[in-house]
Amino acid sequence: MYNYCSVCLLPKTKPYINFDKHGKCSACIFHEKKNIKNNSKNKIDWKKRKKEFDILIKKIKKIKAPFYDVCVPVSGGKDSITQISHLLNKKLRILAVNIDYGIKTTIGHQNLSRVTKMGANLITYRPDLRLHKKILRISFLKFGDPDLMSHCMLHALPIRIAIELKVPMTLLGENAALEYSGSTSINEKKMSLKWFENYASNKGMTPKKFSKLFKIPYENLKMYDLPSITDLKKTHPVFCSYFFKWSSENNLKIAKKFGFKSLKRNAEGTYRSYVGIDEKINRIHQYFKLLKFGYGRATDHACEDIRNNKISRKKGIQLVKKYDRVKLSNYFINDFIKFINIDLKTFTKTLQKYKNKKIWLKNNKQLIKKYEIQ
């Protein structure tokens, strides 16, 4: 068995990842399929998919929906700006939906303001913070993932709003299961209950289960959960990455044209300056991912750059070693513990609790791996 992919740097401890007999991971195999240039059977025909998108848009326009034609979840990041850009100049009434937990950064606010300037309408949904903070606290302490339920809401809420306002299409971002893990046992094009239960809800911890386990009335968690299959059919919840080749670099180029701004320095824990910059909790989520599964944000980015032949595997290893394990700074910790109302001691204890003993050597000060990547 391989500890790391032989092409990129993903470890076998990444959830949902598989390896072929040559040690190549399923994310690399999917990346090749996306980029095949010859006439191989495996090739994804992007021109054909673009036509499919245009046909879908025509169909949606014919419906003559009462308020809006298409709903788009937006964070204000480069990807959501790219999603909107694919809908421009088609005479569509676009409804963008943003969820604001009250922890947005200044640059996050600035980038989000591009959305209305591009020609979309924007709804900002602010959840009840008494409940949301409680959910965050439970998610963090019991699962080591503050974003556990937020991630569900991110996928479910725009679809719920689309259904309530009779918006016939919802253009979601990338199919993360396919893009980052190469999971093929799923519907590539559409959001389904199966997708939601397996990939939006971490390890099947759905809002329904969460509600039962922690005695929070499900009535109050509905906006975190997908509707029933019957209701789901009232909008077309499709992934943008099915129709347009998904690439961080290309999305950044597109978003910049519409005024998207990056940080002036690299974001903490990686060498890129334009990811995870809209809010602060994502950094905590990413750091815990590193503790639990042995890879952080720099690994994600180096893997993408290796697959795109931008850097060598050797250079990727250097970048990962330099950035992945950068200590979580007080800038993130202080705001986070204040937000979810825990003390520093509890935070530090939780860090130790989720440090995977199969991956990391017993050392309280540094993160040293048992099996370093070569």
Q: Which helix (H) or strand (E) holds 71?
A: strand 70-73
What are the two backbone dihedrals, phi and then psi, of residue 238, each rounded to the nearest 5 degrees? -110, 155
Q: Is 5 in the site for Zn ion (CB under 5 A)?
A: yes
Looking at the Cβ atoms of 8 and 152, the one nearer to Zn ion is 8
CA distance 157 to 173: 14
Looking at the Cβ atoms of 7 and 87, the one nearer to Zn ion is 7
3-state secondary structure of 251: helix
Structure tokens at 144: 């080591």
Minimum CB separation from Zn ion for residue 247, in Å? 16
Looking at the Cβ atoms of 303 and 340, the one nearer to Zn ion is 303
Q: Applying CB under 5 A, which of residues 28, 135, 171, 221 lies at the interface with Zn ion?
A: 28
Minimum CB separation from Zn ion for residue 24, in Å? 6
3-state secondary structure of 135: helix
Q: Is 320 in the site for Zn ion (CB under 5 A)?
A: no
Count of residues that interact with Zn ion, criterion CB under 5 A = 6
The span of 6-14, 171-179, 264-272, 312-320 binding Zn ion (CB under 5 A) equals: 6-14
Return the DSSP state at 203: G
Scan for tokens 């910790």, then name that residue: 333
Dihedral sign computed on CA atoms, order 170, 173, 174, 176: negative
Looking at the Cβ atoms of 15 and 259, the one nearer to Zn ion is 15
Q: Is 8 in the site for Zn ion (CB under 5 A)?
A: yes
Edge-first strand order for the sheet with 121-125 is: 121-125, 94-99, 70-73, 169-172, 236-239
Cβ contact 289:298 at 8 Å: no
Q: Is 7 in the site for Zn ion (CB under 5 A)?
A: yes
Longest CA–CA separation in the chain, Å: 62
Minimum CB separation from Zn ion for residue 5, in Å? 3
Q: Is 149 in the site for Zn ion (CB under 5 A)?
A: no
Looking at the Cβ atoms of 25 and 167, the one nearer to Zn ion is 25
Looking at the Cβ atoms of 7 and 65, the one nearer to Zn ion is 7
- Residue 223 CB: number of other CB atoms within 10 A? 16
Structure tokens at 162: 């689309």
Scan for tokens 């963090």, then name that residue: 140
Q: Applying CB under 5 A, which of residues 4, 11, 25, 244 lies at the interface with Zn ion?
A: 25
* Residue number, nearest CB to Zn ion: 5
Looking at the Cβ atoms of 31 and 155, the one nearer to Zn ion is 31
Q: Is 317 in the site for Zn ion (CB under 5 A)?
A: no
The span of 1-9, 75-83, 103-111, 134-142 binding Zn ion (CB under 5 A) equals: 1-9
Kindly list the residues in this chain that would bind Zn ion in the complex (CB under 5 A): 5, 7-8, 10, 25, 28
